[in-house]
Amino acid sequence: MTTSLTKSTVRFLAALLALALLATACGDDDSGAADDGGGDGSEGASSITVYSGRDQDLIEPLLDAFTEETGIEVTARYEGSADLALLIQTEGDNSPADVFISQSPGALGLLAGEGRLAPLDSSLTGLVDDGFAASDDTWVGITGRVRVIVYNSELVDPADLPSSVLELTDPVYDGRVGVAPDNGSFQDFVTAMRSELGDDATREWLEGMAANNSPNYPKNSAIVEAVGRGEIPMGLVNHYYNLRALEADSSLPSVNHFLDSGDLGSLVIVTGGAVLESSDAKTEAEQLLAFLLSENAQATFAAETQEYPLLPGVAAPEGLPPLDGYATDTIELSALGEGLTGTIELIRESGLVQ
Amino acid sequence: MRPPVGLLFLAVLTGVVFLGPFAYVVSRNLDLGTDLGTIIWSADTWEPLRRSLWLGTSVAAASMVIGTGLAWLTIRTDLPGRRLLRVLSPLPLVFPSFVGATALIAAFATGGLVEEILSPIGIDDLPDMTGFRGAWVVLTLFTYPYVYLPVAARLASLSPSLEESARILGRSPWGVFRTVVLPQISGAIWAGALLVFLYTISDWGAVNLLRYDTLTRDIYSDRLFDQPRAMGLSLVLGVVALAVVGAERALHRRRQRIEVVRTRDALTVPLGRWKWPALLGVVVVLGNALVGPVAVFGFWAWRGLRADSDTIGLGTDLGELVEPAVHTAQAGLITAAIAVAVVLPVAWLTARYRSKVGGTANSMVVAGFALPGVVIALSIVFWAIDAPIIQRWYQTFPLLILAYVLHFGAQATRAAQVAVGAVPARLGDAAATLGAGRIRRLFTIELPLMTPGLLAGAGLVMLSTMKELPATKLLAPAGFETLATEIWSAGESGALAQGALASLALVAVSAVLTWAVVLRRLEHY
């Protein structure tokens, strides 16, 4: 037996472990300061914690600019909006988060319904048009995305494109329209359809899409990629995924088709921000939301992500139709959160999920 | 024989801690008033459950064949290039399954990379890689190392004497393998297959992207807006896992245990004319599991690096990966060491004694692996957020490590049980009669004999931790980025090139660590 080798193994592993622990101990210092943020909020906190369901690449530069302008340090945690909403829900009153930035109104609506969100100052929610903030002021929209049909220009004649999303149940679209039934934006869209047309008409539409064997994809970007490759001729997505894909590879044949304004298929889905009820730095948290709704930040969103700014007066991204046409006045976005449970059930029962 | 009280105490303690995630699921079901009856008797549950079990079984079966074959060929034969192949073989485990699935889709989808390469020579009818077939292929290619590592460790520590006798008595090499080698490594094979099964039924990344509707995919899509159903299904998944763990244990107990102490180097089997066909087989497996994905990532990174596009710069982007790479290595090494130390008492108890306590603790540890990552992470939040003292550690490194250990401890347990099985009880008894104390026996006799098995377990935990996402994202200290989180956020913002570069870095770091920590040591045994 080779005892000496074992000793050397143990020694080697112990050394590695010690090194790793040492590196961790050293690394702790820089995060330690930010850790106990939020906690000492009573006399004007100098730091807040943000849970962001939006990309780090996009949000981090804005947070840095905010810190530079206000001196308020920001600690950020990035993860999908759904998982962050679950985290906030599980953390309850002890949540370290002060601000929640969400990809979709659904996650905000859920937390609002459970009393986890603090009402915002009306000067903040007043910054955006009526439909783009919660009716109870628990969250405010930051940017907007329009639902579109993305199509492959080599496979589809633009003249054959529908003017309403309701036409897609027609047999001529059999197997041709990609959907992402698990995706938040699709679920938001279906929820809006329920509040607009009622559950029966929505079920009929979903069953029609299922009968048309609409190919399933896990998310918007996968649909855009599949359309770009020519795997499917068209799909239901948010407008900016295709714009990003074209930025990376301008030779792609994928094109956005904006449906008629006022059509359900061109629903505007907002990304939004909220302040947590459990936060003890609510003033600073609201300052951050106001910063994200400032002209500069809104222009950054338009330029970087091709999303629609919600602050009136800030120009829409280049080459996109103006947002006015896609008003959401009849659709109560804040009802989305509470309605989603029923929506998911409806989608499941329709057989759309393959 | 009655197990020592100290050992029982440690096992109970471990079992209680590992009970955390399961207890969270039960408690949530009670809080939400989940209508379990409706969920259990609904076809909406049975269908996805059937798919989960079918996928888990198929992937486990394929992994048993591939993992065992690769291990035998690279450890026990004169296969050309075997030293390099030993380093490469465990590496596919480090691909997060969503990354592997992405690479497969990019390669095989209509209009994808493979079609671009093959269509000029007239091949453009590629197999559809979505649904069951795609999930089966991806998960098999990226989980067979769960079988490979324990089996390789076992093969490396087998005594040559039995095989020599069989050879002298005229058995063919295949006959020797079947009648002598296979019975001695079957424990390790089953151990690995169980891990593959549990990993598969808990996986979301691959089944989601490849559109195979398993129970875990349902848990994920319901997790926010239909929490009673998500928690009910999680409970179903956990109970199924416990049943499978129990069944495997019952099966394992009835098998004869063979204890052999090695005195000389293991036999090397000459492959003769099978040398090149065998090599071809190994190359096909590794080509698909490792070289293929690496090539796809290399292509994406290269495309991003080309002069005419300025999406990434090699210097800046690689520089930004240094800190995440260090974090990844730290997390992997520390979790592996702690996981092995924590589960060793349970493994010892179950492998040595017929103890109900040991069996229960073992089930707790192993079943934790079947719950989806996000459930494990939320369970830690649930228990830690308002617990005195522990609360202070919330979203710090130690609690993150605890989450990793709870999730991946199972991988170390089964390997450790196989390792304990390699230690003949009579050696310890002999040493005891000669007056050697418990601690001395552990360090001079038992640990040296168990080292290959323990290292294999540590290697599995390390690789799994290095790719972990949900717990890292919810529980890591703010700003603690790993290579896996870098890949994820690159994917979220559509930065293909950056994601590819981070994936390549993950493969490189895991190759170095796997070699340094596991394989280099294994070779001496």
Whether the predicted pLDDT of B426 surpasses 50: yes
- Tell me how many helices (H) and strands (E) chain B has: 28, 0
**A39 confidence band (pLDDT: 50, 70, 90):** very low
Whether the predicted pLDDT of B257 surpasses 80: no
Q: With contacts defined as CB-CB under 8 Å, which chain B residues touch A6?
A: 447-448, 451
Whether the predicted pLDDT of A25 surpasses 70: no
Q: With contacts defined as CB-CB under 8 Å, which chain A residues touch B224?
A: 82, 85-86, 106-107, 110, 340
Q: With contacts defined as CB-CB under 8 Å, which chain A residues touch B326?
A: 23
Which of A181-195, A242-256, B248-262, B331-345 bottoms out in mean pLDDT, i.e. has the lowest? B248-262
- SS3 at position B269: strand
Taking the C-alpha atoms of residue B328 and residue A164, their distance in angstroms, rounded to an integer, is 49
CB A234 within 8 A of CB A227: yes
**Mean predicted confidence (pLDDT) in A324-329:** 56
Spatial CA neighbour of A57 closest among B485, B259, B213, B208: B485
Same domain? For A212 and A314 the reply is no
- SS3 at position B103: helix
Is A28 a member of any domain? no
Which A residues in the span 272-291 are in contact with B, Cβ-Cβ below 8 Å?
none
pLDDT for the residue B431: 77
- SS3 at position B77: strand
CB A81 within 8 A of CB A32: no
Is A38 a member of any domain? no
pLDDT for the residue A1: 39
**Mean predicted confidence (pLDDT) in B137-163:** 87
pLDDT for the residue A36: 42
**Mean predicted confidence (pLDDT) in A268-283:** 93
Which A residues in the span 299-338 are in contact with B, Cβ-Cβ below 8 Å?
none
What are the Cα distances from residue B171, in Å, to A216, A332, B74, B184, B262?
A: 55, 78, 22, 17, 22
Closest chain B residue to the Cα of A353, Cα to Cα? B213
Q: With contacts defined as CB-CB under 8 Å, which chain B residues touch A226?
A: 109-110
pLDDT for the residue A3: 43
Contact: A87, B311; criterion CB under 8 Å = no
> Which of B112, B381, B397 is closest, CB to CB, to A24?
B397
Among A99-113, B12-26, B57-71, the range of highest mean pLDDT: B57-71
Contact: A248, B494; criterion CB under 8 Å = yes
**A41 confidence band (pLDDT: 50, 70, 90):** very low
What are the Cα distances from residue A271, in Å, to A43, A134, A188, B160?
A: 31, 12, 12, 66
pLDDT for the residue B451: 84
Is A134 a member of any domain? yes
Whether the predicted pLDDT of B157 surpasses 80: no
pLDDT for the residue A9: 57
Same domain? For A231 and A299 the reply is no
* Nearest-neighbour CA in chain B from A38: distance (Å): 13
* CA atoms in the 13 A half-sphere facing the CB of B450: 31
Same domain? For A152 and A279 the reply is no
pLDDT for the residue B517: 81
Same domain? For A136 and A272 the reply is yes
Contact: B334, A3; criterion CB under 8 Å = no
Question: Considering Cα of A14, then A19, then A20, then A26, what sign does the dihedral take?
Answer: positive
**B355 confidence band (pLDDT: 50, 70, 90):** confident
Spatial CA neighbour of B490 closest among B323, B330, B258, B321: B321
Cβ neighbours around A131 below 10 Å, total: 19
Taking the C-alpha atoms of residue B520 and residue B525, their distance in angstroms, rounded to an integer, is 10
Same domain? For A176 and A307 the reply is no
Is A173 a member of any domain? yes
Amino acid at B401: I
Per-residue pLDDT tens digits for B296-345: 888 888 877 775 555 566 666 778 899 999 999 999 999 999 999 999 99
* Nearest-neighbour CA in chain B from A91: distance (Å): 6
CB A73 within 8 A of CB A98: no
Is A41 a member of any domain? no
- Residues with Cβ < 8 Å from B483, sequence gap 6 or more? B321, B324, B325, B328, B466, B502, B503, B505, B506, B509
What are the Cα distances from residue B335, in Å, to A20, A176, A271?
A: 11, 48, 37
Same domain? For A229 and A345 the reply is yes
Whether the predicted pLDDT of B41 surpasses 70: yes
> Which of A85, A222, A231 is closest, CB to CB, to B111?
A231
Say what percent of chain B tops pLDDT 70.
Answer: 92
**Mean predicted confidence (pLDDT) in A144-161:** 92
Is A21 a member of any domain? no
* Nearest-neighbour CA in chain A from B355: distance (Å): 30
Global pTM value: 0.87
Closest chain B residue to the Cα of A88, Cα to Cα? B381
Same domain? For A111 and A222 the reply is no
pLDDT for the residue A21: 56
Burial of B323 (0-12, 13-18, 19+ CB in 10 A): middle
Q: With contacts defined as CB-CB under 8 Å, which chain A residues touch B31?
A: none
Taking the C-alpha atoms of residue B394 and residue B392, their distance in angstroms, rounded to an integer, is 6
Same domain? For A262 and A155 the reply is yes
Contact: B378, A92; criterion CB under 8 Å = no
**B97 confidence band (pLDDT: 50, 70, 90):** confident
Spatial CA neighbour of A346 closest among A215, A236, A203: A203
State the residue range of the domain holding B29: 5-522
pLDDT for the residue B311: 57
Place of tokens 């996981």: B339
Q: With contacts defined as CB-CB under 8 Å, which chain A residues touch B261?
A: 1
CB A328 within 8 A of CB A262: no
Whether the predicted pLDDT of B172 surpasses 90: no
> Which of B211, B334, B455 is closest, CB to CB, to A20?
B334
Residue A214 sits in a domain whose CATH number is 3.40.190.10
> Which of A13, A75, A76 is closest, CB to CB, to B337?
A13
Same domain? For A277 and A307 the reply is yes
Same domain? For A245 and A157 the reply is yes
- How many A/B residue pairs have CB atoms within 8 Å? 150
Tally of domains in chain B: 1
| Chain B CB within 8 Å of residue A106 CB | yes
State the residue range of the domain holding A106: 47-144+268-320
Contact: A20, B329; criterion CB under 8 Å = yes
* Nearest-neighbour CA in chain A from B515: distance (Å): 13
Same domain? For A73 and A130 the reply is yes
Per-residue pLDDT tens digits for B486-504: 998 888 777 778 889 999 9
Burial of B117 (0-12, 13-18, 19+ CB in 10 A): exposed
Whether the predicted pLDDT of B95 surpasses 70: yes
Which carries the bigger pLDDT value, residue B185 or residue B524? B185
Per-residue pLDDT tens digits for B186-243: 888 998 999 999 999 999 989 988 888 899 988 998 888 889 999 999 999 999 998 9
Taking the C-alpha atoms of residue A215 and residue A226, their distance in angstroms, rounded to an integer, is 10
Contact: B478, A57; criterion CB under 8 Å = no
| Chain B CB within 8 Å of residue A16 CB | yes
pLDDT for the residue A253: 93
Which of A36-50, A238-252, B75-89, B261-275 bottoms out in mean pLDDT, i.e. has the lowest? A36-50
Taking the C-alpha atoms of residue B176 and residue B185, their distance in angstroms, rounded to an integer, is 13
Contact: A87, B381; criterion CB under 8 Å = yes
**Mean predicted confidence (pLDDT) in A205-213:** 94
Per-residue pLDDT tens digits for A72-85: 999 999 999 999 99
Tally of domains in chain A: 2
Whether the predicted pLDDT of A222 surpasses 60: yes
> Which of A9, A94, A228 is closest, CB to CB, to B521?
A9
pLDDT for the residue B199: 93
Which of A290-304, A334-348, B64-78, B218-232 bottoms out in mean pLDDT, i.e. has the lowest? A334-348
Mean pLDDT of chain B: 85
* Residue of A110, A111, A225, A238 for testing the chain B interface, max B β-carbons within 10 Å: A225
Contact: B374, A23; criterion CB under 8 Å = no
Q: With contacts defined as CB-CB under 8 Å, which chain A residues touch B109?
A: 226, 229, 231
Burial of B439 (0-12, 13-18, 19+ CB in 10 A): exposed
Same domain? For A119 and A156 the reply is no
* Nearest-neighbour CA in chain A from B278: distance (Å): 32
Whether the predicted pLDDT of A4 surpasses 50: no
**Mean predicted confidence (pLDDT) in A212-223:** 89
Q: With contacts defined as CB-CB under 8 Å, which chain A residues touch B225?
A: 106, 110, 187, 340-341, 343-344
Among A255-269, B250-264, B301-315, the range of highest mean pLDDT: A255-269
**A32 confidence band (pLDDT: 50, 70, 90):** very low
Mean pLDDT of chain A: 84
Say what percent of chain A tops pLDDT 90.
Answer: 48
Residue B360 sits in a domain whose CATH number is 1.10.3720.10
Closest chain A residue to the Cα of B477, Cα to Cα? A31
Whether the predicted pLDDT of B282 surpasses 90: yes
* Nearest-neighbour CA in chain B from A296: distance (Å): 21
CB B172 within 8 A of CB B166: no
pLDDT for the residue A42: 43
**Strands A254-257 vs A140-152: parallel, antiparallel or unpaired:** antiparallel
